[in-house]
Structure 1
Amino acid sequence: MASIGHAAVGLALGRYEAGDGSTRRRLASMVFFAALALLPDADVVAFVFRIPYAAPWGHRGASHSFVFAAGVALVVALGAKWASAPPLRWGVLAFLAVASHGLLDSLTDGGLGAALLWPFSNARLFAPVQPLPVSPIGAGMLSPRGMYVVGVELLAFIPFWAYALWPRKSATRR
C-alpha cells in the first residue's frame, strides 16, 4: 500500500477517540493514531541494513504481526494510564491502528504478504481477495504506477477520510 489507506484508518481512529473534544485534542489524537497505523512500515530500514525482504525482520515481517500490535498497544495503554487517560480505550485503539496495517497489506496484490502470525509462524499471508494494488517502494511512487496506487487508495478509503475529516457541529453549539 502507498500508506494513504493506513493514514486514513489512523486518522479515523484518532477522530473516534477524541470525539467532540477541542480541535487541538482532535488533531493530536488523529496524528498520534495515524503515526501508529504507519509504524509497521518503519521496517523499511531493513533494506538499509541488507536484511532480506523474506526474513522475519524484513519488510512486512514481524512489525506487521498481531503480536507486535499487542506490544505497542500495551505500551500505549501504560502511557495512557500514566497520562490519566483511559488505558483500555487507548490500548484497544492502538492495537486496531497497528494491527490494521498488516491486515491492509494482506489485501494487496503483490509482495510477499504479511507475517501476521509472527512469532508463531514466519509465513507471509495474503487475504483471500487482494483488491488493493501493491505500491512501488521509494522513488517508484513517482511513477505512473505509483500515482495509480495513490488514486486507488484515495478512493478505497473515502469512508475513513470522510469520518476523520468531515466537519461536525460541536457539542456546545447543539
Structure 2
Amino acid sequence: MASVFGHVAVGFTLARLHFREREYWPYWLLASALAFLPDADVIGFKFHVPYASLWGHRGLTHSLLAAAVIALAVTILVRLFTKPGPWRPGFGRLLSLLFLATASHGVLDAMTSGGLGVAFLSPWEQERYFFDFRPIKVSPIGVKNFIGERAWLVLRSELIWVGVPCLLVLLLRTIFTYPATATLRQS
C-alpha cells in the first residue's frame, strides 16, 4: 500500500481542484480522509482474514464499487446535515470529488512495488491488478513497522511520484486560473 502521506496528498489535491475557495476547506479534509479510508480493511489482519480474500487487504474496500457506495453515502449525509448556502456544494460536484478521492486509493496502491494487487472489480471479479508503472515503494502495514530506513524509502518515493506531481498540478491550476478570477472579483 501507499502510505497515509500519499493517499492524503492525492485526496487533498483532488479537493483543491474541485473546490478552490478556502471556504470549502471542510471538503478538502473530507476528500483527504476518504482517500485513505479503504485501508480500514487492515483490521481484518487482527481477525485472521486472509489477505487474498474478498474482505482481505486491497479487496472489496479498494474496489470501484466501494468507492461509489462510500461517495454516494457520504454525499447524501453531507447534503442532509449541511445548511443550504453559497458554500454548500452541488450534489453531483461533491459526489464526483468523493468518488475520485476514494477510488484514488486503489490507483495509488496499484502503483506500488509490493502486495497482491488491487481488486478494482470486486465483488464480481476477484483478480487483483497492478499497473505496469509501479514506482512507489510499498509501505509496511502498521505504524510500528513504519520507522527507520524503510519509512524513509517509502516517503522519498511518494514525495517524488505523488507529492511533486500534486504540487505541480496545484501550481499550474493557480497560474492558469488566478488572473481570470482576480479580474472577475475586481469588477
Asked if the contact 1:11/1:164 (under 8 Å) is kept, the reply is no
Alpha-carbon deviations, 1:19-63, whole Å to 9, x = none?
A: 1x2x3x343222111001001011111111111111111111110
The correspondence of residues 35-114 of structure 1 with structure 2, limited to 5 A, is 35-82=33-80, 83=82, 84=84, 85-114=89-118
Task: State the shift of 1:7 in Å.
Answer: 0.7
CA RMSD of aligned residues (A): 2.3
1:73 deviation in Å?
A: 1.6
Q: Is the 8 A contact 1:109 1:131 kept in 2?
A: yes
Aligned residue pairs total 171
Q: Distance in 1 between matches of 2:47 and 2:108?
A: 25
Match of 2:138 in 1: 134
Contact in 1 for aligned 2:9/2:166 (Cα 8 Å): yes
User: TM-score, normalized by length of structure 1?
Assistant: 0.87
Q: CA 1:17/1:96 → structure 2, altered by over 3 Å: closer, same or farther?
A: same
Calculate the TM-score normalised by the size of structure 2. Answer: 0.81
Partner of 1:160 in structure 2?
A: 166
Q: Secondary structure at the match of 2:50?
A: coil
CA distance in 1, matches of 2:146, 2:107: 21
For 2:117, give the aligned amino acid.
G
Amino acid of the residue matched to residue 68 of structure 1? A
* Structure number with larger C-alpha Rg: 2
Q: Which runs of 5+ in 2 are unaligned?
A: none
Aligned residue identity for 2:157: V
Deviation at residue 79 of structure 1 after TM alignment: 2.8
Q: Quick one: structure 1 residues 41 and 173, their matched pair in 2 at CA, closer, same or farther if it must change by over 3 Å?
A: farther
1:160 corresponds to which letter in structure 2?
C
How far off its partner does 1:81 sit?
Answer: 3.6
Could you say which residue in structure 1 is the equivalent of 2:152?
147
Alignment gaps of 5+ in structure 1:
none
Distance verdict in 2 for CA 1:173–1:13, change over 3 Å: farther
